[in-house]
């Protein structure tokens, strides 16, 4: 990945990270994996889709997950989202259940979350690639510093934002929001991951959508329309 791959609004904040040894190693790792015939998701050209659809200055909410879906045709660069026509994955089914309970929004007939992204909801995973059928395969490969920098860039803004951290990997980024121990102008919402393995441990009933909108409205940033 080069600076030219970064959307213009993110370039000043993220370009320095591209020159770090972990990012250089990541580039070599991904090239070697693909040369060995392994299928990497999402495909090239979609790995920074979250940044492309949500410019830095528009970010109002960050939803942070773990790594992309690892089934063919699922991941397209937005955390928890799948293209139209692809079966809605279990984690997103549970997100929709909480959305219905929280705001009364009926489940959509597709799993594409681009409508959220275009409103300033940054749908970010802590790791931006995965090997087919191997969840977590690229954890520790080098993406963590890059996504740290993404979170820090949003946190550095004076405009209040909401950080929704789902699962332990996402919650590991909390320090990037909190800085020296104060969350500053931002709201941080932590809960278990919405996967079937953990959703009943506190994700259900966490009301992240209404809490985010209440905060944004109170700070003059406008509510998100969570329909899609």
> Which residues are designated catalytic?
67
Q: Say if residues 68 and 123 touch (Cβ distance below 8 Å).
A: no
Helix axes 21-35, 143-155, angle to 10 degrees: 130
Nearest alpha-carbon partner for 129 in 209, 219, 26, 198: 26
Nearest alpha-carbon partner for 2 in 54, 14, 136: 14
C-alpha to C-alpha distance for 71 and 6, rounded to whole angstroms: 26
Burial of 44 by CB count in 10 Å (0-12 exposed, 13-18 middle, 19+ buried)?
exposed
Helix axes 208-218, 90-103, angle to 10 degrees: 60
Give all strands of the β-sheet with 121-125 in edge-to-edge order.
Answer: 121-125, 61-65, 162-166, 187-191
C-alpha to C-alpha distance for 13 and 108, rounded to whole angstroms: 35
For residue 127, how many other CB atoms are within 10 A of its CB? 21
Burial of 133 by CB count in 10 Å (0-12 exposed, 13-18 middle, 19+ buried)?
exposed
């Amino acid at each position: 990945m080069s600076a030219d791959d970064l959307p213009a609004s993110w370039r000043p904040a993220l370009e320095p990270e591209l020159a770090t040894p972990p990012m250089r190693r990541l580039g070599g790792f991904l090239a070697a994996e693909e040369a060995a015939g392994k299928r990497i998701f999402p495909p090239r050209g979609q790995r920074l889709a979250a940044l492309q659809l949500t410019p830095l200055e528009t970010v109002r909410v960050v939803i942070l997950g773990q790594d992309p879906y690892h089934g063919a045709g699922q991941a397209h660069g937005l955390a928890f989202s799948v293209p139209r026509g692809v079966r809605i994955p279990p984690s997103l089914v549970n997100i929709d259940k909480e959305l219905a309970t929280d705001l009364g929004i009926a489940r959509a007939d597709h799993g594409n979350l681009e409508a959220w992204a275009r409103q300033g909801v940054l749908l970010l995973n802590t790791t931006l690639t995965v090997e087919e059928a191997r969840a977590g395969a690229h954890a520790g490969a080098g993406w963590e510093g890059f996504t740290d920098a993404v979170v820090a860039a949003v946190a550095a803004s004076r405009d209040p934002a909401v950080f929704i951290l789902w699962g332990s990997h996402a919650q590991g980024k909390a320090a990037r929001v909190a800085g020296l121990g104060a969350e500053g102008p931002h709201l941080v919402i932590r809960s278990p991951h919405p996967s079937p393995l953990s959703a009943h441990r506190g994700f259900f009933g966490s009301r992240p959508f209404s809490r985010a909108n209440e905060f944004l409205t109170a700070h003059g940033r406008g509510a998100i329309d969570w329909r899609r």
